[in-house]
Amino acid sequence: MYVKPRDEVLFGDIFEAPYLFDVHLQGDAARLTSGEFPPKAPLDGTFFAEPSSKLALSGDVVRAHGRSGRERQGPVHRDTVHLPGRALLLSDDCLIPTAYGNRPDRSRANGRLLFAIITPAEADDAAAVADGSNFSRFGLPAGSVLKDSGIAELKNVFLVRARDADPAHRIAGLDDAARNALDKRWNAFICRRGPEASRQNAEKLRTLLVTAGAHNHDVAVERLWQTLDLAWEFEGRTMRAVSDAAEAIAAPEPSLARVIEDLRGIAALAAEAARLLDQSGIVSSAESD
């Protein structure tokens, strides 16, 4: 599931750094100004406070709330407060170079990258999340690169200035299969589209068919979902490969052959799904009524 970070920063990369927090605003959010403690003060360093008549506003700091996701309750776990946050990168591969300014030098970057905080999990929890229908969570089991199981909380996302998100802070990347699984889960959660959402809806169709006493409903629903899954792969993987080939000014034959193959596969699955659903006895009986 995991690979060492690639040369380029990609969707699904896992970062670990002290600035990664599940940050959110509440009703007490307020602009803050900053200042330095004077030399004779009992404290040193920078302080932040709400602006006042004696303390002019400077900077763009805002009070918010945030957790690294790795803190655990109780005095025995007090050291977990200082653990750096871990987060899963959710920005897509086209946006990431733009956010970084399309340059190796990040000093010119002015974009933002979207992350989901990763919380600790037992191995069984991560596996259950991976197999479950809760689209707001993505299980990250322990592996060769990521030693601790975790759960990427897709419902808890935050933005980080790309200039500060150093690629050296990555501890792992997802392999192609895991990136594809994350893509499906993220789309299911954020817009209720894609194979995972379609599979849940197909199961609801199965329930309707069973209630109505339909025939061949298991195979029919399976073919329906396979049609939707292949259509997703075609839209993403195949057509993305076409785009890459066009940008590389490559020969069109391989791309065209893959497009034709997928279209024929989608058509065959869709035709079989329609045939089995038509033979279920539901449509004809409804029409006869």
Query: 147 falls in which pLDDT band (50, 70, 90)?
Result: confident
Domain 2-26+60-191 CATH assignment equals 2.30.30.110:
yes
Q: At 19, phi and psi to the nearest 5? A: -90, 0
> Tokens 């817009």 sit at which residue?
191
Average pLDDT over residues 199-222: 86
Q: How would residue 288 be classed by pLDDT, with cut points 50, 70 and 90? A: very low
**pLDDT tens per residue across span 70-87:** 887 777 777 778 889 999
Domain boundaries, the chain: 2-26+60-191, 195-288
pLDDT tens for 223-258 read 999 999 999 999 888 998 999 899 899 999 999 999
Enter the tokens of residue 173.
């990347």
- Per-residue pLDDT, 172: 93
Exposure string of 200-214, with b = 16+ CB inside 10 Å and e = fewer, is eebeebbeebeeeeb
